[in-house]
């Protein structure tokens, strides 16, 4: 995880949201942040994960949590994904994968014998002071949102 461990200060970032505005981690200080990195919009696992967060938004908001999904897709692709699945939280466009690299989730992957760089599905639970409370490496989508809710 790029040397990141629980208790570390989470790396700040500056990324565009689905609506085109630019946000930083600092903008959410005072609230817990669920920062989840996923490989690609419109793919089965990523769609299920986004829809699971969407369907749990009221429970997450009761805990004052902010949900932010991050992938290397463009703002335009995030807008299509958000519209198609009626997502009710922001997706952040990490074009160039600089934030994914800062969080240590941009790694070499291997599919059908082909090696390429991509995001390893990982979630960071960041506390109200900006420290990493929990890291969920190599996330299995089924049951993940429940796990996050229990740890908030």
Helices 44-55, 144-151: axis angle to 10 degrees equals 40
| pLDDT band, residue 2 (cuts 50/70/90) | low
Query: Does residue 101 sit within a domain?
Result: yes
The C-alpha atoms of residue 50 and residue 55 are separated, in whole angstroms, by: 9
Query: Does residue 126 sit within a domain?
Result: yes
| pLDDT band, residue 111 (cuts 50/70/90) | confident
The C-alpha atoms of residue 72 and residue 75 are separated, in whole angstroms, by: 9
Q: Tell me the residue range of the domain where 142 lies.
A: 14-22+29-151
51 tagged catalytic? no
- Residue pair 112/101 in contact by the 8 Å Cβ criterion: no
Of the residues 15, 46, 50, 132, only one is catalytic, namely 46
Task: Tell me the CATH number at 51.
Answer: 3.40.30.10
What would the mean pLDDT of 26-52 be, rounded to a whole number? Answer: 96
Query: Does residue 111 sit within a domain?
Result: yes
Query: Does residue 5 sit within a domain?
Result: no
- Total number of domains in the chain: 1
Query: Does residue 145 sit within a domain?
Result: yes
pTM for this entry: 0.94
How far from chain centre, in Å, is Cα 34? 7
């Amino acid at each position: 995880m790029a040397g990141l461990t629980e208790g570390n200060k989470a790396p700040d970032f500056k990324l565009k949201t689905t609506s085109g505005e630019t946000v930083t981690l600092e903008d959410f200080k005072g609230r817990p942040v669920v920062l989840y990195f996923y490989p690609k919009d419109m793919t089965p696992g990523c769609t299920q994960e986004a829809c699971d967060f969407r369907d749990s938004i009221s429970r997450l908001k009761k805990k004052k949590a902010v949900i932010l999904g991050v992938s290397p897709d463009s703002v335009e692709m995030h807008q299509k994904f958000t519209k198609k699945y009626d997502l009710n939280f922001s997706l952040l466009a990490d074009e160039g994968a600089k934030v994914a690299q800062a969080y240590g989730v941009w790694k070499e992957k291997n599919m059908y014998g082909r090696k390429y760089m991509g995001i390893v599905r990982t979630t960071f639970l960041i506390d109200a002071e900006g420290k990493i409370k929990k890291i969920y490496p190599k996330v299995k989508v089924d049951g993940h949102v429940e796990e996050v809710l229990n740890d908030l």
